[in-house]
């Protein structure tokens, strides 16, 4: 079966492709929001969590598309996983797609609760699967 996004991110080690740029943009965006919060501009966070309806619908549609792409990519990786580490990475992508769908739902209904829940899901998933990858790598060596 061929899925959308097949072959993306198949290189080992650090990537200099579009995913590295996306990660950099995400880190810079989170840093800008944190800086705005510490500077007393909490209205910026409120405008991100509850934007005007048309903007929220566009953000929701974008997050839903990201969720679909991540889910299809994960399905492709689960089908071709040969090692436990590859399977863990595929499951990580599933949870990131769940987080994207949660954020999408929050923007569609205009509530910050699903958005925050999606961010928490993504954060916990990254920490948990990183720990599992460390354990898997340790068992493979020892």
| 52-70: pLDDT as tens digits | 999 999 999 999 999 999 9
Render pLDDT for 90-141 as a digit per residue (tens, 0 to 9).
999 999 999 999 999 999 999 999 998 998 999 888 888 888 888 888 877 7
* C-alpha to C-alpha distance for 102 and 87, rounded to whole angstroms: 23
**Range scoring the smallest mean pLDDT among 4-8, 26-30, 41-45, 122-126:** 4-8
Same domain, 63 and 108: yes
Same domain, 116 and 58: yes
Q: What is the pTM assigned to this prediction?
A: 0.70
Same domain, 87 and 112: yes
* C-alpha to C-alpha distance for 31 and 1, rounded to whole angstroms: 39
Range of the domain at 89: 50-141
User: Are the CB atoms for 97 and 67 separated by under 8 Å?
Assistant: yes
Look at the chain and report how many structural domains it folds into.
2
Residue 86 included in any domain: yes
**Range scoring the smallest mean pLDDT among 13-17, 75-79, 86-90:** 13-17
Same domain, 28 and 54: no
């Amino acid at each position: 079966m061929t899925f959308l996004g097949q072959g993306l991110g198949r290189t080992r080690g650090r990537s200099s492709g579009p995913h590295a740029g996306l990660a950099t943009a995400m880190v810079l965006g989170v840093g800008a929001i944190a800086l705005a919060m510490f500077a007393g501009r909490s209205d910026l966070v409120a405008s991100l969590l509850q934007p005007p309806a048309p903007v929220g619908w566009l953000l929701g549609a974008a997050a839903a598309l990201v969720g679909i792409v991540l889910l299809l990519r994960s399905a492709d990786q689960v089908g071709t996983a040969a090692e436990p580490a590859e399977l863990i990475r595929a499951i990580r992508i599933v949870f990131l797609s769940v987080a994207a769908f949660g954020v999408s739902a929050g923007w569609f209904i205009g509530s910050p609760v699903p958005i925050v829940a999606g961010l928490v899901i993504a954060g916990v998933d990254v920490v948990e699967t990183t720990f599992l990858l460390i354990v898997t790598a340790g068992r493979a060596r020892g």
